[in-house]
Amino acid sequence: MKLNTSLIEQKFVANGELGVVAVGFSGGQGKAGVDIGPAAMIESGLLTKLKEDLGYEVHHDDTVHSYKELTPESDPPFRGMKNPKTVSAVTRKISEQVYEHAKEGRTVLTLGGDHSIAIGTISGTAKAIRERLNRELAVIWVDAHTDINTPEGSDSGNVHGMPVSFLTGLAKEEREDVFGWLKSEHMLSLKKLVYIGLRDVDRFEKQVLRDHKFIANNRRHGIGKVMEMALGYIGTDTPIHLSFDVDALDPMWAPSTGTPVRGGLTLREGDFIAECVHESGSMVAMDLVEVNPCLDPGVDNIGSDETVRAGCSLVRCGLGESLL
Ligand SMILES: NC(=[NH2+])NCCC[C@H](N)C(=O)O
Ligand SMILES: [Mn+2]
Ligand SMILES: [Mn+2]
C-alpha cells in the first residue's frame, strides 16, 4: 500500500520513510517495567500495522535497546539527580540514533522508555532539522506533567521530570558526562514549546512557566479549539516534534504508567491530538513514552493491555491513521 499523502500536504517529510528507535530504558525514574513498554507495543503488532496499513517504509534495527553497555561502574547522585551519568550516556546515544534517521528525511518514531529519553529524541531531531532545513524545531509536549524541573528544583531527583529544562537550557551542566554534550544545535526554544494535558505541575515548575510567560488556557476550551490554538501558535512553516507521555491520558485508558494522575484526556482526545499534528503536515518526529506494563492496578493484565493498546493507537493516529 502506498502512503496516503494526498489528503494532506506533507511539508517537511515527503519520503514515506519511518525511522524507529525502540528504547527499553527506565533509569530516568525509579519504577521497573517501563523498559518493556516498547517490546509490548511492538509485539502487539504496531510496526506491522505501520507498514501494511499506513504504507511506511520502516527502518528499524529490530532491537529494543537497553543500552546496558553504557552503564557506568558507579553513578552516584549529582546535583540531586539520580543515575545522572547513565541517563546522560543513554540519551546521548539516542540523540545520535534519532539524528541519523532524521537527517535522511525520515519521520522518526521513538518508543520508550521513561520520558528522560526525550533529551535524546528532541536534541537529535532539533539538530537534524537545523542542518537539513535550516529551521528551528517546535515541540508539542502532551503530558500530565511539564517535566521542566531543574535538578535543584526537583523534589524527586528523577530525570524524567527534567528533560524540558535541559533541552531549553534552563538547566545547564558543563560536565560532558552529565548532559554537557548538549550543544546549541540540540536546543529547543521555550518559545517553540506548547503543552497539552497538564494537571500535575510542581511548585517550582509553575514558577518557571510564569517567569517565561506561558499562557494557560486549555482549561477553558474543548480539544478542537486547543489544537487550533496550539498549531496556530506554532505556525505552518515550523517542523513539529510530538512528545506524547501516555500519562496525559486519564488512568481509565492508561492505568499502567509510573505517575498516573486522575482527570486526564480521554483516549479519543489523545488520538485527536495526534491526528491533528499529523494533518498539519509538519510532524517530523513522535515519541510515545511511559507505558509500564508491569504496573497494573487491574486483574489479568487488563490495565496493561489497555495501556499498550492506547499507546499503539496514539502512534497510529500520529502517523496518519484516519477514518477515511
Ligand atoms: N515523565 C513523567 N512521567 N514525569 C513525572 C514527573 C513527576 C514530578 N514532577 C517529578 O519531577 O518527579
Ligand atoms: Mn507525565
Ligand atoms: Mn512526561
Nearest CA, atom 9, ligand 1? 161
Structural domain contains residue 211? yes
Q: Is the pTM of this model over 0.90?
A: yes
Q: Is the Cβ atom of 257 under 6 angstroms away from ligand 1?
A: no
Nearest CA, atom 7, ligand 1? 161
91: pLDDT strictly greater than 80: yes
User: Is residue 247 among the annotated active site residues?
Assistant: yes
Please, what sign has the CA dihedral across residues 58, 281, 270, 123? positive
Are 82 and 58 a contacting pair, CB within 8 Å? no
Exactly one of 160, 186, 241, 278 is catalytic; name it: 160
Structural domain contains residue 7? no
Position 190 scores a pLDDT of: 98
155: pLDDT strictly greater than 90: yes
- In this prediction, residue 1 has a pLDDT band, given cuts at 50, 70 and 90, of very low
Q: Mean pLDDT, to the nearest integer, of 243-248?
A: 98
Position 15 scores a pLDDT of: 76
Q: Mean pLDDT, to the nearest integer, of 69-84?
A: 97
138: pLDDT strictly greater than 60: yes
Structure confidence by residue, pLDDT tens digits, 274-312: 999 999 999 999 999 999 999 998 888 999 999 999 999
Exactly one of 275, 290, 296, 306 is catalytic; name it: 290
CA angle 314, 315, 316 (to 5 degrees): 95
Cell digits for 306? 489497555
Nearest CA, atom 10, ligand 1? 161
Residues with CB under 5 A from ligand 2 (ion): 143-145, 245, 247
Domain span including residue 302:
17-318
> Residue 134: left (phi > 0), alpha (psi -120 to 50), or beta?
left
Structural domain contains residue 64? yes
User: Is residue 305 among the annotated active site residues?
Assistant: no
From residue 200, alpha-carbon distances to 247, 310, 314 in Å are 11, 21, 21
Pocket test for ligand 1, best of 160, 200, 208 (most atoms within 8 A of CB): 160
Place of cell 524541573: 149
Position 6 scores a pLDDT of: 44
- Total tally of structural domains belonging to the chain: 1
Domain harbouring 182, CATH code: 3.40.800.10
User: Is residue 65 among the annotated active site residues?
Assistant: no
Structural domain contains residue 323? no
Structure confidence by residue, pLDDT tens digits, 7-62: 455 677 657 999 999 999 999 999 999 999 999 999 999 999 999 999 999 999 99
Position 322 scores a pLDDT of: 84
Q: Mean pLDDT, to the nearest integer, of 179-188?
A: 98
Nearest CA, atom 4, ligand 1? 161
Position 9 scores a pLDDT of: 58
Top-confidence residue, 323 or 212? 212
